[in-house]
Amino acid sequence: MCSPIQPCLKGRHVSGDGTAQTHEARGPVLGIQWSCRSLCRTRPPLGSSGPRGASRWPLRALLTPVTQVAGLGNYGLWGTRHSVGMEVLDRLARQLEVADRWRVDKRCCADVTLAAAHGLELVLLKPRRFMNLNGLSIASAAEIYSLGPGDIYLVHDDLDKALGKVAIKLGGSARGHNGVQSCISAMHSNEMTRLRIGIGRPEGDVTVPNYVLSPFSAGEREKLEQILAQAVTCLLEHIRSRAPTDLGCPW
């Protein structure tokens, strides 16, 4: 897990590239305040070297435009229903042949890898935070890669859809999902596209918190591989429909 973000006061600071930055104090987001590092950093060239804020990933330079695809979940609670969005990201990374390139990016407190699809550069991201703070990682990555809310996909579980149902939602309210609400609060917008993965509702006396934080049952796990494949196909088809060009990539 990443260290807490410290309060940021009004002032003049030096950013990662050595330029002076002046800003007003920022209010809290989800009860946590932005740090000066977050406010003052500028996006470094990918692959550049330097003492501060430089990326050391052995990856190609970013194409334009860029799209962020974020899998929401609770970091460390792998295999649970609430973290199925992260499983979709793992499946997507394997399909795009970048599964061995995940790196911890401390700037946004997330596991990040880059991939290309349909003329777009995709920033695949899995926050290293609990669900109700996922938005801080999404917003930090959006700042790093100069992205707006419309450039972001959120992949997450959905109680109101049966297991196996997958659907795209174009913005709107969080519908009670804490991870989505975190992203809306951190981005100050509800325009992010969502890929909703149905997990169904609990039966009997099982509470919703216990249900979503529990692993999939053995029977559900047998179906999950097909569901993940369906989710990745749905996501890539939607990305393709919005891409300005198609470079003939297999995905």
pLDDT tens-digit readout, 145-183? 999 999 999 999 999 999 999 999 999 999 999 999 999
Sign of CA dihedral 164, 167, 171, 173: negative
Comparing CA positions, the residue from 84, 241, 87, 96 lying closest to residue 157 is: 84
- Cα separation, 243 vs 240, in Å, equals 5
Give the lowest-confidence range in 17-31, 94-108, 195-209, 221-235. 17-31
Q: Is the pLDDT of residue 93 over 60?
A: yes
The mean pLDDT of 189-209, rounded to a whole number, is 96
pLDDT tens across 107-119, in order? 999 999 999 988 8
- Catalogue all structural domains in the chain, each as residue range(s) with its CATH number: 11-40 (no CATH), 66-242 (3.40.50.1470)
d(CA 18, CA 96): 36
Least confident piece of the model among 16-25, 133-142, 146-155, 212-221: 16-25
User: Strands of 166-170's sheet, edge to edge?
Assistant: 103-105, 110-117, 120-127, 66-71, 152-158, 193-198, 166-170
Cβ–Cβ under 8 Å, residues 249 and 117: yes
Question: Which of helix, strand or coil describes residue 116?
Answer: strand
User: What is the chain's mean pLDDT, rounded?
Assistant: 80
Buried b / exposed e along 130-159 (16+ C-beta atoms within 10 A): bbbbbbbbbbbbbbbbebebebbbbbbbbb
| The pLDDT of residue 33 is above 60 | no
Looking at per-residue confidence, does 165 or 12 come out higher?
Answer: 165
Give the model's pLDDT for residue 57. 37
Q: What is the pLDDT of residue 12?
A: 43
pLDDT at 139 over 90: yes
Euclidean distance between CA atoms 111 and 126, whole angstroms: 5
* pLDDT at 2 (0 to 100): 62
Q: Is 70 exceeded by the pLDDT of residue 48?
A: no
How many angstroms separate the Cα of 144 from the Cα of each of 12, 81, 128? 20, 30, 17
Confidence of residue 120 (pLDDT cuts 50, 70, 90): confident
Above 60 in pLDDT, residue 244?
yes
Q: What is the mean pLDDT of residues 245-250?
A: 43
Which single residue is written with the structure tokens 């394997």?
94
Range name among 25-29, 103-107, 223-227 with the lowest pLDDT average:
25-29
In angstroms, the CA 240 to CA 151 distance is 13
Q: Helices 134-144 and 178-187 sit at what angle, rounded to 10 degrees?
A: 40
Q: Which of 13, 23, 82, 177 is catalytic?
A: 82
Indicate whether 246 pLDDT > 50.
Answer: no
**Is 28's pLDDT higher than 90?**
no
82 in active site = yes
Low-confidence winner among 44-48, 98-102, 140-144 (lowest mean pLDDT) = 44-48
